[in-house]
Structures are given as structure tokens and as C-alpha cells.
Structure 1
């Protein structure tokens, strides 16, 4: 195995994808314990990234400026000053290939699925999980470089300050301090991934009737969805925290949950990284490729009409997710509660 002293990891977005790359960070640090590791990321997705000993430096990349020659020249100077001897592009898109090209690294690698011309910059590292789960695809890069992968671990950020702030916000919202709660995330990056809001509302109603507190999370744009769920649930035990937390606070809120429920979302992968009991709802995407990856705390419910596969990971079927019944999800939730 070759010794690397200064390593650049490029994984800039999105939230779930950054979390999927954390086990590779863990493996890199274990195999190159003395290396200086820098991670290039869009600032809004940097919340899950841990500090030392895992990452020595986080470098923010402004996506909006990647077409500016002045910005690219400035970025090149910053990257070259680090004198990287290896760059590992886990995004493998045009935007990440630009960063890799500007890095000045003597060796530039990506995982096998090089897209959007990134193969002109990076050398593909292929392993036995070419068509397996994306986490294993990323880990294959470490294996191909001669490193040893002993398991899947997520070195995710932990913030006592964010945890305290999160508890304060939940208490202000009316949740009794120190009480258990279930977290549900009704939104998703793509609408086709979402479970119907009426189904979330019916599930929230059943949880509330079972004397479970429910906390709804998401972006500010999910406020209307959260309100619709509250209206359907008709219970003071359902709390709306959509748009009320930073990413660091969101991580701590999920860390404290007794159960997490959502479709294929970034917060679902946070729950997986934190090893919280979870229910992932799938249909238009394939859990074999991007589902929660862990132990017996992971429970996925797949739509009976799903046509998504690891090779065809996103199917545009607007009716697929609605085929998952509230009864199915409730039956699984009861066993976990």
C-alpha cells in the first residue's frame, strides 16, 4: 500500500451522498493514520462532517462560482498550496472533476462510475461491488488502493452546543423535556420519492393515539406539508420543527429519536449513520443501492409496484409510493416501539 501524506476528498453534495461517503473517510483514516485529510464540500452540506482526528480541514466550494474564471484561478491557488499527493473524487461529476483537476494532486482517482467527463481527469478505481450499494462502491476505492476495509462505520459530527439548542427548541415547542419522541420527515429532494402526506397524517394520528410524541422535520419549504399532517393527526402530540433547525441541530434531534420514519431522504441517512431505529420507505428508488446500510435497526418497506433497481436507481412513477399502506408502516412501527 502506497503511503499518502496529503489527501483531498471531493464530495460536495447532497446530504445523503455526503453521509454515504463517511465510511470511506473512516477507512482512509484507518489506513493512512498520519495523512493530512482535507474534504471539499458545499457549505450547506458540511454539517455531518466530523473534525479531528478524521478530517484535518474542510474546504468550502462555491457551486455558483465554478463557471467564473476568477474564482477558478483563486481556487487553484488555494488547492495547490496544500500540495496534495492524492485526490479522491467520490462525486464523479463535472463539477467535482473541476475541483480534482485544480487540486494539483499527483494522483487523481474516482470510483468506477465516472460521469459527465470526469473520466478525463480521474482514474476509475473498480472493485467487487461495482453494482452493489453505493457505500460499498465508495469503499472499493480504498480496497483498490491497497487499503483494508474492516467494516462500515460513520464518523459523523457531534455537537453538544447544537444538542442543547435542539432540546431548548423542542421544549419551547411544548415537548416535555426528557420525553421520548418519534421523528418523521415528510419531504424529499424529489417529489416522486415522497410518501403521500395523507399517509403521513394517518400514521401521525396512530402514533399520537398510542401516546407517542411526533416531531416533524424538514426544510422551510416543507411547512405546508407539516401543517397538513398536523391537521390530519388532530393531536397536540405532533410538533412541527420544519425549517426550525440548523443541520447540526437536525443531527442532534435525530440522535435523540426513539424511531425515525421517512422516504429516501438525507435525514434518513443521518438516522442510519447514528444507528437509530428507522423505517425507510422506498419504491421509486432502490434500497439495494441507496438504502440505509447497517444492522438490525434498519427496516425498509418497499412499494409492491417498485421497478427501481441498483442499475436503474430512480424511476419516475407518481403512483408508486402511494402503494405503501399506512397499515404496513404502522405494523412495523409497533414492533419497534
Structure 2
């Protein structure tokens, strides 16, 4: 017999470990749950790096799982929560690792994705599934978990915490002049293929400097690949037009840089969704992933969309003929994006948000 959903949950568990962009897209669901049940406890089981971004999020108790600790880390987390029983567990991670982790958690009912959206047989690990929602954006899929519990007020709120320390870190890096943030690299992992060309970024940086008086601050992690790409971009640009901060910031510092930026340009990676979460104009670059599913939610109209062309060129199909969320895993897919298209979108984005930017800079 399928268990019933709680009408007035007192303790809600969220299981979502990764990634940076996804946890940013999940925060509005947390805020919707808080509006509906302001006295309910919310415990979020989250990854280590993701916690470093969201630490201090109001009204949320975080339990951190470091995936590098493997089964030993799972057992430690199970012991930590051994005396805790949740009214409902919202299983929002479509990965077998997370499903195994969920087995050691005590909950009256476990809610997961419908079969069409579930990956790695996630529906085997839950008792209650979401209603089908075809062609949903990632943010909307998360919000479906609040809706299934009866939440109707699904307006978008984030209110991410940014400390004065992080703001000072950003100020030291960026100086006083207005700037763009460009995060050129996505996660360094096998067959990711989300990175655009260094020449393309250099062209956009030149245009922003000459035509808009905007410096560009490069952000990213400290991997060898990211540092090499940042250094290469820097060599192609005028010295005054770019600040290379790749590998030189904390994650909260990147969030602060993004919060104070005029706009953010990035492929499908965490910082483009961080921009969306703090209300900074976001220009996403999409060819290997579908922007209708994964672009920064509030700025989807300004995403550069070469995904249909990539599907035609490398999968020999139309967008309508591939599964929702289908990736184009080809190393040349992102090269279908033209610098002129990015520049045109940037001009439109800056023009569209000029008044808003003035208000943000001079409250």
C-alpha cells in the first residue's frame, strides 16, 4: 500500500548532493516549502562543495556528504541521522550513489521523480512519484516536489547569503570599475564538451571593453586545464581589458563577484545559475546541452542556442526526435557558437537591463 503524503510536515528531508547549478535551481523550492510551512524543519543532505556555496542559507539544516569518502562516508552519515525520522524525504538526486545513500535514512514516505524523468532506476527507491511533466526545465522539476506536497505559491525566491568577507574578496579582485564575469570552463570531467573557444571569449572581451567600457573578470577552479584556458584567453586580450582570477577565489568569493557584476557569460556550468540566483543578467552558451531545459531560468531568452544545429550536425536528428535532456557529446559541438552571435546577445542583454543595473549599483 502506497503511503500518504503528509498534510502538515514537521520535518522535511531534501536529498540533493550536486551540482552547483542544480543546487542553485533547487533553492526556490526550499523557499516555497518555507512559505507553506514556516515552522517545519528542513534538513538538506548535500555535497561538500555545494555546501560551501550555500552555507548560511536561512532556515536550512545542512548535512554534508563528501562523495570522495564513499561507503565509509555513507555509514557515518547514517549514524549521524540514526535517531532522526523525517515526515517526508524528497529524493531529488537521480544517481545510484544517492539512492543507495537514501536507504540508510528513515522517512515515513519517500518522494522521487516520475518514471520518465527518473534515471539510474531511481523510482525503485521511492514510494511516491511526481506527476509527469514533459519537457520541464531543471528548476521546474525541482519545484514539482513542492507542488506534489500541496504547495501552490511557487514564486521564485533565492536570498543567497553573501558575507562581507566574500564581498571584500570580490572588491579586491575587481576594483571599482564595472565589469563582466566570464567563467569560460565547465566541470573538468570525461566527455563533458561544454567549453567554448578561447578566441571566441577574447573577441567578446574586446567588444565589452571597447564598446561598453566593461572589464572582464575570468573565474573558475584551479585545475590545470582551467588555468591554461584562462592564461590563453589573457594572452589574446588587451592587458587592461581582463582580470584573470581563475583559481584565485573562494566559491563564496565567486558568488560575490557575480553578485556585483554587470552580467555573467558562461557555458552550462554552476556560475551561470549562480548569476540567475542573485539576479545578475546571465548569458548562457549552449550547444551540447538544451537551453530549454538547462539555461539560467530567468534569462532563457538571452541564451545563445546552437543546440538544434548540434543535434542536426552530430546526431543527425532534429530536436523533436531526441529525448528531452539528450546531450550532444561531441568535442566540436560548442564550436558551432559564433562570436558575433554572443556579442549580439550581450549587446541586447546590456541594453535590456541598463535601468535595472543602475538601480542595483546605486540603491
In the superposition, the TM-score normalised over structure 1's length comes to 0.90
Cα distance in 2 for residues equivalent to 1:92 and 1:330:
36
Secondary structure of the corresponding residue to residue 233 of structure 1: coil
Contact 1:217 1:241 in 2 (8 A): yes
Cα distance in 2 for residues equivalent to 1:134 and 1:66:
27
Cα distance in 1 for residues equivalent to 2:135 and 2:154:
20
Does residue 200 of structure 2 align to residue 199 of structure 1? yes
Secondary structure of the corresponding residue to residue 305 of structure 1: helix
Does residue 336 of structure 2 align to residue 334 of structure 1? no
Q: Which residue of 2 aligns with 1:290?
A: 294
Cα offset, 1:54, TM superposition: 3.1
> Which runs of no fewer than 5 residues in structure 1 stay unpaired?
none
Which stretch has the larger CA shift, 232-241 or 266-275?
232-241
Secondary structure of the corresponding residue to residue 304 of structure 2: strand
Cα distance in 1 for residues equivalent to 2:108 and 2:70:
22
Secondary structure of the corresponding residue to residue 136 of structure 1: helix
Q: Which residue of 2 aligns with 1:22?
A: 27
Q: Which residue of 1 aligns with 2:314?
A: none
Q: Which residue of 2 aligns with 1:101?
A: 103
Contact 1:125 1:140 in 2 (8 A): no
Match of 1:148 among 136, 143, 152: 152
Change (3 A) 1:124 1:196: farther
Cα offset, 1:333, TM superposition: 1.6
Does residue 68 of structure 2 align to residue 64 of structure 1? yes
Secondary structure of the corresponding residue to residue 214 of structure 1: strand
Q: Which residue of 1 aligns with 2:181?
A: 183
Q: Which has the higher helix share?
A: 2
Does residue 244 of structure 2 align to residue 240 of structure 1? yes
Secondary structure of the corresponding residue to residue 248 of structure 2: coil
Cα offset, 1:295, TM superposition: 5.5
Q: Which residue of 2 aligns with 1:263?
A: 267
Cα offset, 1:305, TM superposition: 1.4
Q: Which residue of 1 aligns with 2:52?
A: 47
RMSD: 2.1
Contact 1:7 1:35 in 2 (8 A): yes
Match of 1:227 among 224, 231, 236: 231
Q: Deviations over 1:48-85 (max 9, x none)?
A: 32636431x111112123323xx444322211223322
Contact 1:201 1:233 in 2 (8 A): yes
Contact 2:162 2:256 in 1 (8 A): yes
